A and B are shown apart, each in its own frame.
Chain A
Amino acid sequence: MNCTDFEKLIAERVGEELSAEQKAEMDVHEKSCAHCRLVLAEWQKIQTLLLASWPAEEPRRPFFLPNPRRQTTWLETARTWFGLASMATVTGCFLLLVVLRPAVSYDHSQLSINFGAARSEGGTMSAQAVTQAQVQAWVRQALEQATVAGVAEAQPTSGASQIPSSTEEARRVTQIGVQVEMLKENQSALWQQVEQHGLYLQSAWRGPSDPSDSKEKPTFNRQ
């Protein structure tokens, strides 16, 4: 080993990174060469000075790692509970709708809400949709009553004991004719109302199971 080879391996020598064979060769050369001894000594001195000039110190704070099983924050907890409460509320409302089966009705400018459970207690109400045939039957019945009432009004005294005069009789006939015309107009208007009510009632799912219930019958509005 010459001086050039020695200096090439000084870094490994100082860092104790040499094989035993290389170290032995360097030792032999070191003993015989004052220059290489001096160079090696300088390297070792520099290393010693460096280490002495800047000793290691402890970190001011420990280095933590994120814990995979971290604690949830209050905001996350609140968000979770709020979500669960919302789901419970929606589910509860849906169940109430299914159980109570509320029915909304609009009759004579009055909005009312009835619940299927309450109405079913009487056994006369149901949430079945009313059929158009039922409505027509109620209207037909009402019209017959109204016609009978109109005729009765027009002839208040059946079998008149007094013989009316020809002028008075003519006036009465005219009045009856007018009333009959009014009744016809009422009938056509009523049929229109019947159709409208029938559609509404069908959509509202309400109607009496017993057609004889006068409360649920459409009333005959005499003009």
Chain B
Amino acid sequence: MKTAETDKELVEQALGGRVEAFNLLVWRWQRQLYNFLLRLTGNRSVAEDICQEAFLRSYLNLKELRERERFASWLFRIAVNLYRTDRRRPAPLAADCAELSDSGNARDSAHPMSREMQLAIRTLISRLEPELREVVLLRFFHGFQFDEMSGILDCPVGTLKSRLYKAVDELRTGLESQK
């Protein structure tokens, strides 16, 4: 049975002219990247636009990727840079979070949580400062390690750790106030 090709192999194939290899990379990472941007921006349209632009730029600049096994980190870094420079991004509001709670996955039985609780936690996340929100999302939702996050956010690991501790403190305080 043939094992799935690694990101590095797919990147090398794409650089060799095989467009389908890059399409596989898109297929592999589009869900992660889209949801990261959705949680970051709180807006589906903006998330889709940035996601599409990030894939396009990564395709056009693929030859600039030196560490080919780190395609995902590189892709997320492109997306974060686009997000930071995107002036259209609206301030994440509770209304956006309410809209997001309509998704079918949110009522998944595997996550028995009331809609009110979901909305409250999403509101807490959206009220974090962007730098803290980026760290929380990358760490807790997408499982990136600190050295990867350092590359994505262009920030030292120590700074990222302090941001994470600060974000967890704010979330803990917010959750306690919900009770």
Contacts and interface: CB of A to CB of B under 8 A. Distances in A.
Interface of A: 11-12, 15, 17, 42-43, 46-47, 49-63, 65-68
A58 B44 contact: no
Interface string B58-71: 01000000000000
A59 B51 CA distance: 10
A65 B56 contact: yes
Given A46-B175, A56-B35, 18 more contacts: A11-B165, A15-B139, A15-B145, A46-B171, A50-B121, A50-B140, A51-B111, A52-B118, A53-B121, A54-B122, A55-B106, A55-B111, A56-B31, A60-B48, A61-B48, A65-B22, A65-B23, A65-B56
Contacts, number: 97
Contacts of A12: 146
A50 B35 CA distance: 13
Q: How would you classify the secondary structure of chain B's contact residues: helix, strand, loop or mixed?
A: helix
B125 A54 contact: yes
27 contacts: A11-B165, A12-B146, A15-B143, A17-B146, A42-B168, A43-B168, A46-B140, A46-B172, A50-B125, A50-B136, A50-B141, A52-B112, A52-B113, A52-B118, A53-B117, A54-B100, A54-B125, A56-B105, A57-B35, A57-B103, A57-B105, A59-B34, A62-B30, A63-B34, A65-B19, A65-B23, A68-B19
In this complex, which of A54, A62, A65 has the most chain B Cβ atoms within 10 angstroms of its Cβ? A54
A96 B168 CA distance: 86
Q: How would you classify the secondary structure of chain A's contact residues: helix, strand, loop or mixed?
A: loop
Nearest to B35: A56
A15 B146 CA distance: 9
